[in-house]
Structure 1
Amino acid sequence: MDYANRKRPPKRKPTSGKRGAKAQPQRQVPWAIVILAVVLVVALVGGLRFIAGGKDAADTQLPNEVITETPSISSGPTLEPMPEKPEERWQYIEELENLEVEVDVPEREVGPPKLMQCGSFRKRSDAERLRASIALQGLESQIYPSNNNTWFRVVLGPYETKRDAEAERHILQRARIHGCQIWNWNL
């Protein structure tokens, strides 16, 4: 069936209720659902009373007379005083307070010095520009020519540990100078 080219059904004019108006069917109350709801509510109330102890308001009556008798102490068994707190058998608490831990920390091996290269350029002017932006961050760098003065490397260092080199690399990254690499080089 072609739904795109199908004609729309003609619109019906609304009737004002005089002639030709259809009578609205009256809704009937679903009595089964109403009875079921009443039974469920009664069951819920009964269940809650059962849980609460099953006492109704009619069952609980206030006594008319107030009992003023004091219970007499019989000559039954006498109460013994509580025994004293026993002494602790464990001594680990005192041992832990006085314990001294000795840790043997090996000396950190210092490897070869680290250098950080931040760029390699064909033109010395580009290397000088990068060196100037590094100097604005308070760090000192050098330009090393290589391959018979055809390449110019911008290098920072030497650093004793990689941690020192990483700290300065983070300073450069905050200044948006990326691409610095840390190497184990000797110049």
Structure 2
Amino acid sequence: MDYANRKRPPQRKPGGGKKGSKKAPERNVPWGIVVLAIVLVLALVIGLRFIAGGNPNAPEPVTQEVPPSQPQPTVEPIPEKPEERWQYIEELENLEVEVDVPERELGPPKLMQCGSFRKRADAERLKAAIAMQGLESEIYPSNGGTWYRVVLGPYETKRAAEADRHTLQRAGIHGCQIWNWNL
């Protein structure tokens, strides 16, 4: 059967189709389900009382005391639990772990360029914004003095350059790039 091209069944009007009839719909209460629900609730309550300790109105059971004339059975006391001693704790306390970490090879120094401008005044503005973050930058003229680059560094590691770049990003200075340059 093709469900996509199937027609919808005709919709009924809320009034039942007759114009003059405004009769309230009858509601049949399923009494069997209501009685079953009440029986289940009662069974649950009785079961919970049974689990909790039975009937609270019942008399307590009477215990009979053993007359002193009968000999009491002798019970030996339970020996104390021996204290466990772990050997590995004592062995590991005095051991030292030696790790061979190879030295990292330092590559060329890293420079971070944060801007390149045609006007020196724009480069000076960016240099001042960087200085407000506690970092020192330099302005280098390039291309015969037609461009002015704002550069930070040199940094020995890329990690140090990344730390300063994140500081500048938090201050709203974006677009800084880290390069392997030598000046």
Task: Give distance in 2, aligned partners of 1:152 and 1:61.
Answer: 98
2:143 is the alignment partner of 1:147: yes
Paired letter, 1:37: V
Task: Give distance in 2, aligned partners of 1:148 and 1:166.
Answer: 30
Paired letter, 1:34: W
Structure 1 counterpart of 2:66: 71
Task: Give distance in 1, aligned partners of 2:142 and 2:133.
Answer: 26
Cα 1:97–1:152, aligned 2, differ >3 Å: closer, same or farther?
same
Structure 2 segments unaligned to the other structure (5+ residues): 1-18
Aligned length in residues: 162
In the TM superposition, structure 1's runs of 4+ consecutive aligned residues that sit over 3 Å from their partners are 22-30, 50-57, 60-63, 66-69, 72-77, 86-90
Alignment partner of 1:92 out of 73, 88, 95 = 88
Matches within 5 A, 1:35-184: 35-46=32-43, 48-50=45-47, 52-53=49-50, 62=59, 70-72=65-67, 74-75=70-71, 77-86=73-82, 88=84, 90-184=86-180
Task: Give distance in 2, aligned partners of 1:157 and 1:168.
Answer: 10
Structure 1 segments unaligned to the other structure (5+ residues): 1-11, 13-21
Cα 1:43–1:139, aligned 2, differ >3 Å: closer, same or farther?
closer
Task: Give the greater-gyration-radius structure (CA).
Answer: 1
Paired letter, 1:134: I
Question: Deviation at 1:158?
Answer: 0.8
TM-score for the superposition, normalised by structure 1: 0.64
CA RMSD of aligned residues (A): 3.7
Percent identity at matched positions? 61
Cα 1:106–1:68, aligned 2, differ >3 Å: closer, same or farther?
closer
Question: Deviation at 1:121?
Answer: 1.7
Paired letter, 1:38: V
